Structure 1
Amino acid sequence: MLHRKGRGIGPFLGFLDPSLATPPKYLLISVAEHIEKMLARYFSLSLLATAVSAASISDLVGTWSTKSRKVVTGPDFYDPINDKFLEPNLTGISYSFTEDGHYEEAYYRAVANPVNPSCPKGIMQWQHGKFVLNSDGSLELTPIASDGRQLVSDPCSSSLATYTRYNQTETFNVSKDPYHGIQRLDLKRFDDSPMHPMYLVYQPPQMLPTTTLNPVSETGKSKRHVARDTDRLPGVRNLITKEELTNPDRWLWVGVFATALGGITLFYS
């Protein structure tokens, strides 16, 4: 194969039709306009993506919750006076942010057990502390170490749940989506895995006091000893069984069994 130095489009067109050896001016203008429009569209989309991801602190202020809206930060999720969780009706995630850099988070998750579906795990977590929104759109959350709480319920291992102190520093990439007028907050973990989207439910935010709620004494123990067993979450098992009832494969086999039973009854009648 022979390679020649490029001479533009003219010689090629001239080979097809001598009258096209020099491309018409209108053709060159049309191509230039098309390229210009493509570049303008590209830069417009780039600016739009930057504007959405680079949220300001004022964009975060409020209480955000996942679609069920049953898990919300504040006194309806964690009672700091009696040092206990209040179980919501459904699982979910909630975050709250203030203008002066304080945050609060509430998690309630049901973890299915593939080996034994009747033994799901339930996890409730609560933290609060301070946050920093960096110029690149990343969000750094630093909790008050002595205040975080975690409750883990594993009905197949123990009839009681384990209640411990919880302290986990987090980093997220944050973006705000005003799609159809509904304010949606999207958080991505440090490994870029997305969390469930959250929607604005309260503004100003619904939160507990932002100061330390469980100060640690000089001995290193809080006024209330945290690591202990407590009643397991009564609703965790139901959260999984409700989902299992809507499994279409299960209803398919029920239908097959009912049809077979009807055929046998008709045969012997």
Structure 2
Amino acid sequence: MRTLSLLPLTLAALVLAQDDPIRYDLEHNATTLIGTWSSGAGLVQTGPVRNFCSPANKTFNPPPVAGISYSFDGDGNFEQVEYRFGSNPAKPACPNATLLFQHGKYQLLPNGSIILDPIPEDGLVQTQSPCTAHSSTIQQFNVTVLFKEWRIFFDPLSQGYHLHLFRFDGAPLNKMILRYETPIMHPTTTILKPEPTAPARRRRAYVEQRSDAPRSATAAGGIGLMMVLLGVVMLV
């Protein structure tokens, strides 16, 4: 599996870290950040309820419309899912769709920024095109996210709380509505185990193969066989 990984936005983080600390006011505290937020119709959501992503199975189940969703809990854990359409200059009638999932830890900085630090092993991304018979293979995805600022406000029209996140360059994300006050998330610990390297796979296969060999009738013979086996494994 290929891995897409971007270095943390170190320079931007250093610049923002030198901004004056802010006092969190009603722009941030109309309600708590904790909960599950999603844009639009809310068909794209974190966690297993909408089944947008099954990280354990490495699969996506995209709904009819695009959207984004973020969840934050009180222990510093976050989850992020996105379903976006992008232009395709080669085939304008065939826009590409990108689906992604990642989760990990978040920090609220004194200057009003938020940093999302994902678990590297668990991030997933997939690109789809309506003009191809098959979607691309799912790849690992690991991108540290920096939001320059954020606001929460109450919308009288929808009678709900809205979260507005701004990227490191100040560009806004689509507003998200609070769907659940208790965040709906997948397990917050590592879900996918790292795949073993080729030498490790060979060693494991060799040990499993040798474990099926007939055992010696004597204890001394068994110990001798074990010593030989360990010696061979260490030399592979």
Q: What TM-score do the two structures reach when normalised by structure 1?
A: 0.59
Choose which of 183, 194, 197 in structure 2 pairs with 1:205: 183
* 2:152 counterpart residue number: 176
Alignment of 1:63 onto 2:36: yes
Q: What's the CA shift for 1:102?
A: 0.3
What CA deviation, in whole Å up to 9, does each residue of 1:40-61 have, x standing for no partner? xxxxxxxxx96134559x7111
Q: What's the CA shift for 1:142?
A: 0.1
Q: Which has the higher strand share?
A: 2
* 2:140 counterpart residue number: 165
**CA, structure 1 residues 147+220, in 2 after alignment: closer, same or farther (shift >3 Å)?**
farther
In the alignment, structure 2 segments of 5+ residues that lack a partner are 1-22, 202-236
* 2:207 counterpart residue number: none
Q: What's the CA shift for 1:159?
A: 3.6
What CA deviation, in whole Å up to 9, does each residue of 1:178-213 have, x standing for no partner? 232521100000001111000100120111010100
Q: Aligned partners of 1:171, 1:53: CA distance in 2, in Å?
A: 19
Q: Aligned partners of 1:153, 1:179: CA distance in 2, in Å?
A: 34
Please provide the CA RMSD for this pair.
2.6
Q: Aligned partners of 1:203, 1:54: CA distance in 2, in Å?
A: 16
What CA deviation, in whole Å up to 9, does each residue of 1:205-254 have, x standing for no partner? 11101010002155399x9xxxxxxxxxxxxxxxxxxxxxxxxxxxxxxx
What CA deviation, in whole Å up to 9, does each residue of 1:98-140 have, x standing for no partner? 0110000110011133553321101100000000011221100
* 2:15 counterpart residue number: none
What CA deviation, in whole Å up to 9, does each residue of 1:115-172 have, x standing for no partner? 5332110110000000001122110000000000000113557743231000000011
Instruction: Percent identity, please.
Output: 37
Q: What TM-score do the two structures reach when normalised by structure 2?
A: 0.66
Whether contact under 8 Å (2:55, 2:124) holds in the other structure is no
Q: Aligned partners of 2:114, 2:192: CA distance in 1, in Å?
A: 25
**CA, structure 1 residues 99+220, in 2 after alignment: closer, same or farther (shift >3 Å)?**
farther
Q: Which has the higher helix share?
A: 1
